[in-house]
Amino acid sequence: DFDVNYYVNIMIEQGRAVDDIIMQYVEIENSVDQTYRRAFNLPADPRVRLDSFHRARIAGLSQRLYDNWGFPPDGNGGSTARQAIQNQLGFSIDFVINREVEQLETVLVNGRQLQAALRDAGYDITDEQAYRMSDNSYNAGIRLPELLAWVRMARVIQSRSTERLRAIARERGETVPRPVIEAERTRREREIAALSAASILNPLLVPFVEVRQRELADFNRDPAAAIIQAERVRRERALAVAVASTVGNPAMAVMVDVRTRELNDFNRDPMAAMGWFEFPIDQALYLSDSWMRIGLAERPVIPIIRTPELSAFVTAQLARIDTSRLGNAGYWLNGRSLTDPAIVAALVSRIERGELQPNDIRMLIDDVIATHARLRQASADAQVDILNPNRYLNQATDTTTVPDGIPALTQVELLLLLDIRGDVRRRIGVLQVLREGVGDPTENPEMR
C-alpha cells in the first residue's frame, strides 16, 4: 500500500526503528482492533472498514497501550530497553501487552453493559463516558456486579421516592407541578404580548389577541385542568392521525396500538404518563453511589429551597451533634455554639452557591453519630474483664478512659475529622467555616 509505505518511510527518516513502528501500528493496533470489534459486536473481519468514530477510538486506545508498554528505539530497535524491562518484570513485554488487551476487553464489555443499564434507568451516557466509568471502576477494584447493583439500587430509590413525591402532591391537591404551570402561563403571556405588538401595525390581529386573552383567563381559573385537557386533546389527535394513516397502509396499525396505549396511560395516571413529580435519576444515582461508595456519580444540580427553610434544616442537623464535650474542637469553636447563626449562615451560603447539597450535611451527621457509637462500643469491648464480665456489664463505659489505640474522640472532633477525610464531592467545609476569626492553632500553647 503506497500510503502505508509513505508514512512508514517518513517515520524511519525521523529516527523510528522498524520493529518499533511494527509494534505500535501493527501488533498493538491489530490486537486492540480485534478486541474492540468483539466488545462492540462489530464485524470481525479486519477488511471491513469501521467508521471514523470507531477508528478514532481504536487509535486512542492503541496509543495509550503503546505509551505504557512501547519503548523508543535505542539504536537496536528498542530491544535493549525492552530486555531490561523484561528482566526487571520477570516476564515478557508481549505477556504484559496481552494481559492489558484482555483487561481492555473486560473494560469495554463492562462499559457497554453499564451503559445499557444506565440508559434503561433513564440516564443516558456516551460510549466514551461509559468506557471511562468502566475503566475507573476497574482500576479501583469495583467489578461489574457492583456497578449493576449500584444502578439497581438507584432505580429502587427513584421508584420509591417518586411514589412518595406523588403521594404528597395528591395530598396537597396538586396534579401538575408548579414549574410546568408557570412555564405554560409564561408562554401564553408572551404569545399575547407578541400578538398585541403586531396588532398595532395590523388591526386584523386584534380579534386574535382577544381570543388569547380569554384563553389565558380560562387557564388562570384552573391551570392544572387546562394543561391536562390540552395534553389529552393532543394525544387524541395523534391517535386520530394514526388511524387515518392505516387507510391503504395496514402497516400503520402498529402506530395505532402505540398511540392508543399512550392515551390510555395518560387517562389512567397523567402524573406517571408525563413524568411529573418524578424523583430525578441523577439524584438517585448519586444517593446510591454515596451509600455503596462507588465514586462514579456526578453531583446532581438540585434546585435550592428557600433560605428560611434551609437555615432551619442546617440548624436542626447541627443540633444532633453532642456538644457536651468538645475536645480539641473547642479551640475552633472559640466559645461559639455549633448552631451559632453565623456558622449556620456560612453553611447556607455555601449551599446556595451550589458548593454542596442539603443532603450532604445530613449524611455527614449520620456518619459522625454512627462512628462515635462504634468507637464507644470498641472502647467498651476492649475493657471487658473476661474473668469478671458482670462487672463490665453492670457499669457504664467511660469514653474518657480507653485502652491505647482507641482515641476518645468527641462528636465535634469527629465532625471535623470525617468532613476533612470524606468524599471531596460532598465535603461540607465545617473546619473552613470555623476557622474564620480564629488564629493559627500553633500560636496557642494549649494546642501544641
Closest CA to 154 of 285, 48, 280: 285
Instruction: Say which amino acid occupies 58.
Output: I
Structural domain ending residue among the three candidates 90, 124, 143: 143
Structural domain ending residue among the three candidates 143, 172, 196: 143
Per-residue pLDDT tens digits for 357-381: 777 778 788 888 888 888 777 766 6
Rounded to an integer, what distance in angstroms lies between the CA atom of residue 374 and that of residue 395? 18
**Assigned domain for 113 exists:** yes
- What confidence category does residue 402 fall into, taking pLDDT thresholds of 50, 70 and 90? very low
**Assigned domain for 360 exists:** yes
In percent, how much of the chain has pLDDT > 90?
A: 23
- pLDDT at res. 194: 92
Structural domain ending residue among the three candidates 118, 143, 168: 143
Per-residue pLDDT tens digits for 281-320: 988 998 888 888 888 887 776 655 556 677 888 888 888 8
Rounded to an integer, what distance in angstroms lies between the CA atom of residue 328 and that of residue 411? 11
**Assigned domain for 272 exists:** no
Q: What is the mean pLDDT of the chain?
A: 80
Per-residue pLDDT tens digits for 190-207: 999 999 999 888 888 899
Residue-wise burial string across 105-114, b where 16 or more C-beta atoms lie within 10 A, e elsewhere: bbbbbbbbbb
Domains identified in the chain, total number: 2
**Residue 128 dihedral angles phi and psi, to the nearest 5°:** -65, -40
Rounded to an integer, what distance in angstroms lies between the CA atom of residue 156 and that of residue 150? 10
Q: Is the pLDDT of residue 267 over 70?
A: yes
- What confidence category does residue 81 fall into, taking pLDDT thresholds of 50, 70 and 90? low
Per-residue pLDDT tens digits for 9-47: 777 777 676 777 777 777 788 888 888 888 888 888 888
Q: How far is CA 186 from the centre of its chain?
A: 32
Rounded to an integer, what distance in angstroms lies between the CA atom of residue 390 and that of residue 425? 46
Rounded to an integer, what distance in angstroms lies between the CA atom of residue 442 and that of residue 423? 27
**Assigned domain for 245 exists:** no
Structural domain boundaries, residue 9: 2-143
- What confidence category does residue 217 fall into, taking pLDDT thresholds of 50, 70 and 90? very high
Cell of 386: 473476661
Record the pTM: 0.58
Per-residue pLDDT tens digits for 111-125: 999 999 999 999 998
